[in-house]
């Protein structure tokens, strides 16, 4: 394992941002401490040709711009949606910014994706830490959260999350990388295959707000339990296409589980997604339109996909969903792995 650190840019507020390159075996990953963001992941195809399979930008200013659809970012305090930007905790009502009307999305107006995290190299890993003060974006409690990134010779890019709070709060963290296994600039992912090990998904309304119902995937366009071309039935999916939380089939709560497998028949690249979380949001970049990214590549709808490992959306308002509450004295932990290889 080799880790190098380089200056990536300076924020509008004058804070320096560092990019870290992790290289092990045939895979190279690059991350930065603005938004604890994954900048790139490079891996070979069946012929040994290396490509970057993560969409993103070349400059910090672009990551800070309004055109950034959370490329590679760590989303929090609460990834995904909270209905109406409101929830009640221990009898007290909390109001959040409605930044994805009518819902709160990915932590608010200035979520974890827009913060500069403290970062340090610890052995063969990079650890990023953030302190979110009480009341940050409307959430209670001073929260201390860390994400540790490691890369193994087996092609495993591992994210270990940990958090504590001094006051009861809600918490849901994810990484929002956009993948295209043909290469970030290779166009449509309709012919790439996806398999998600989930028999149910959370039903949503026209605003992508959970209804509280868990629906079976069997016999529907949502059934991805066997390797399926992403584009095969995407036109039949509610809204613009896949943007749904799948309820992972876990042998036990919190067990590290193979949630999904994606592959690209043309290049031979394969990616496994493992997580301890109960859900994975499969999102086919339905709202990415004419975004100029790395090297001048122009990204459009369904030219990448996300596998956002997380708790289920709107859990604070859905008592039947797995809890996202975190109390003082408890430690939030989560592990997610993206493992790269060949078919």
Q: pLDDT tens digit string along 82-102?
A: 999 999 999 999 999 999 999
> Within its chain, how far is the Cα of 59 from the centroid?
20
Mean pLDDT of 301-308: 98
3-state SS assignment for residue 236: helix
Q: How confident is the model at residue 1 (pLDDT cuts 50, 70, 90)?
A: confident
Residues 259-296: tens digit of each pLDDT:
999 999 999 999 999 999 999 999 999 999 999 999 99
Closest CA to 260 of 218, 304, 306, 216: 306
- Domain hosting 32: range is 2-342
The CATH number covering residue 280 comes to 2.70.98.10
Active-site residue list: 176, 308
Preceding amide of 47 cis, omega within 30: no
Closest CA to 52 of 186, 161, 206, 149: 186
Distance CA 47, CA 92 (A): 58
3-state SS assignment for residue 324: coil
Give the other-Cβ count within 10 Å of 138's Cβ. Answer: 18
Within 19-155, residue ranges assigned H as helices are 60-63
Q: Are 41 and 157 in contact (CB under 8 A)?
A: yes
3-state SS assignment for residue 14: coil
What percent of the chain clears pLDDT 70, i.e. is strictly above it? 100
Closest CA to 234 of 271, 206, 193, 184: 193
Distance CA 107, CA 77 (A): 5
Query: Across the chain, what does the average pLDDT equal?
Result: 97
Residues in the chain: 343
Distance CA 169, CA 219 (A): 38
pLDDT higher than 90, residue 45: yes
Residues 2-21: tens digit of each pLDDT:
999 999 999 999 999 999 99
* Residue 128, both tokens: 């990023």
What percent of the chain clears pLDDT 90, i.e. is strictly above it? 99
3-state SS assignment for residue 183: coil
Domains: count for the chain: 1
pTM for the whole structure: 0.98
pLDDT higher than 90, residue 105: yes
CA dihedral 109, 112, 115, 118 (to 10 degrees): 170
Residues 227-265: tens digit of each pLDDT:
999 999 999 999 999 999 999 999 899 999 999 999 999
Closest CA to 25 of 124, 120, 121: 124
3-state SS assignment for residue 85: helix
Residues contacting residue 84 through CB under 8 Å, at least 6 positions apart: 98, 102, 103
């Amino acid at each position: 394992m080799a880790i190098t650190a380089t200056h990536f840019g300076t924020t509008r507020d004058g804070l320096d941002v560092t990019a870290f390159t992790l290289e092990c075996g045939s895979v190279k990953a690059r991350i930065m401490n603005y938004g604890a963001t994954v900048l790139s992941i490079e891996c070979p195809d069946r012929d040994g040709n290396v490509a970057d399979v993560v969409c993103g930008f070349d400059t910090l200013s672009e990551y800070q711009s309004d055109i950034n659809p959370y490329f590679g970012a760590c989303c929090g305090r609460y990834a995904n949606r909270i209905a109406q930007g409101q929830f009640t905790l221990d009898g007290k009502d909390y109001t959040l910014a409605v930044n994805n009307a009518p819902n709160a999305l990915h932590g608010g107006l200035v979520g974890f994706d827009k913060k500069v995290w403290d970062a340090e190299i610890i052995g063969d890993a990079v650890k990023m830490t953030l302190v979110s003060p009480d009341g940050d974006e409307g959430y209670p409690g001073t929260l201390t959260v860390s994400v540790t990134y490691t890369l193994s010779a087996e092609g495993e890019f591992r994210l270990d999350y940990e958090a504590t709070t001094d006051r009861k709060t809600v918490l849901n963290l994810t990484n929002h990388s956009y993948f295209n296994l043909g290469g970030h600039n290779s166009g449509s992912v309709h012919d790439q295959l996806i398999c998600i090990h989930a028999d149910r998904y959370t039903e949503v309304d026209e605003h992508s707000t959970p209804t509280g119902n868990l629906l079976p995937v069997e016999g529907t366009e949502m059934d991805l339990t066997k390797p399926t071309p992403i584009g095969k039935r995407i036109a039949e999916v509610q809204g613009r296409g896949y943007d749904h939380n799948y309820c992972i089939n876990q042998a036990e709560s919190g067990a590290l589980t193979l949630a999904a497998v994606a592959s690209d028949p043309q290049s031979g690249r394969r990616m496994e997604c493992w997580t301890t979380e109960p859900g994975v949001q499969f999102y086919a970049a339905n709202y990415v339109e004419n975004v100029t990214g790395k090297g001048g590549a122009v990204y459009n709808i369904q030219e990448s996909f996300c596998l956002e490992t997380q708790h289920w959306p709107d859990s604070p308002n859905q008592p039947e969903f797995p809890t996202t509450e975190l109390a003082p004295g408890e430690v939030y932990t989560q592990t997610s792995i993206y493992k790269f290889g060949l078919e």
